[in-house]
Structure 1
């Protein structure tokens, strides 16, 4: 079958949501619980650090996220893609990747109200980032329930703790039933 990616044993997890919704913390929690052989494909890392690209429709980072995830899956890694990943910009890529993946794929949207986004942003440890990213930035980036079209996406409310969210994703994706490989 052309275009297939990964194996029946690989897991693909997509974690989306607004700024300060907990995406990076969830990805880190999944890796901490799972161990080695789990690749984190972070939108911010590839877009801002590797490419230093603004988040625009048709951005180069969209293909790089796809390519990176596919490469890791094809080499036996489980993959967590995390980022804001606006539905109108990243939706087609995520849909195609989910359809092409031969293993278990689970997509999650962390649904955090804007008021909580502000509180979480204010509690970030990086003072320079807090000073650089203002309430106006956060308001401009915020999209309420920006769910993916044509992709089954589980909405996780702000009431779910980090541990509860990580546990849920581990169980629903099957990561709790596969062994980590020490590479």
Structure 2
């Protein structure tokens, strides 16, 4: 089983940031602009929907996320991993992906202040279930990976600007040749 024909090796894009920072929207925007050939791996989908697991250290979702990313890349799909992916819980897995993926990768941290997180969260369907107190507990300012591997994207970057930044920086803007 193989993925679509792509020019060049499969790229890995990792989008991290706090809740309501725009990660899922950027991932969807990348797929919309790029088309077929991008695998979207969402932490929330695998953790909350597939496993219905809480975000805990050593959780089963961590291995499932890593396995899914590796599988998609091995089959030729450019892969976008998106999620809060806190360093405390996911740092080791992310370090393995960074070390093992020899092809082009781009790592971004969407840096949104807590006040803006609250405003954005209010527009989401889960706003009735998750309150400001829970968001405050989850919020980790500048939860960056060690080594300066991530490009920090400020809250002032619009969705179209951020999608364009990722397309250009990752090489996806010129990688696709086909449908």
* TM band (smaller chain): over 0.9
Determine the structure 2 residue equivalent to 1:61.
Answer: 61
Is 1:154 the counterpart of 2:151 in the alignment?
yes
Determine the structure 1 residue equivalent to 2:121.
Answer: 121
State the Cα deviation string for residues 127-161 of structure 1 (Å, max 9, x = none).
Answer: xx111010011001000000012461110000100
Question: What TM-score, normalized to structure 1?
Answer: 0.91
Is 1:163 the counterpart of 2:160 in the alignment?
yes
Measure how far apart 1:102 and its partner are: 2.2
Cα distance in 2 between the residues matched to 1:181 and 1:70: 24
Determine the structure 2 residue equivalent to 1:111.
Answer: 111
Is 1:143 the counterpart of 2:130 in the alignment?
no
1:63-102 alignment, distance < 5 Å:
63-102=63-102
Alpha-carbon spacing, 1:46–1:181, altered in 2? closer, same or farther (3 Å): farther
Cα distance in 2 between the residues matched to 1:167 and 1:175: 10
State the Cα deviation string for residues 10-51 of structure 1 (Å, max 9, x = none).
Answer: 100000000000000000001101101100000000000000
Cα distance in 2 between the residues matched to 1:131 and 1:31: 29
**Divergent runs of 4+, >3 A:** none
Give ranges in structure 1 of 5+ residues lacking alignment: 1-6
Question: What TM-score, normalized to structure 2?
Answer: 0.93
Alpha-carbon spacing, 1:46–1:87, altered in 2? closer, same or farther (3 Å): same
Cα distance in 2 between the residues matched to 1:98 and 1:77: 17
- Contact kept in structure 2, 1:46 and 1:65, CA below 8 Å: yes
Q: Counterpart of 1:9 in 2: which secondary structure? A: coil
Measure how far apart 1:91 and its partner are: 1.1
Is 1:26 the counterpart of 2:23 in the alignment?
no
Cα distance in 1 between the residues matched to 2:113 and 2:102: 34
Cα distance in 1 between the residues matched to 2:109 and 2:162: 11
- Contact kept in structure 2, 1:10 and 1:77, CA below 8 Å: yes
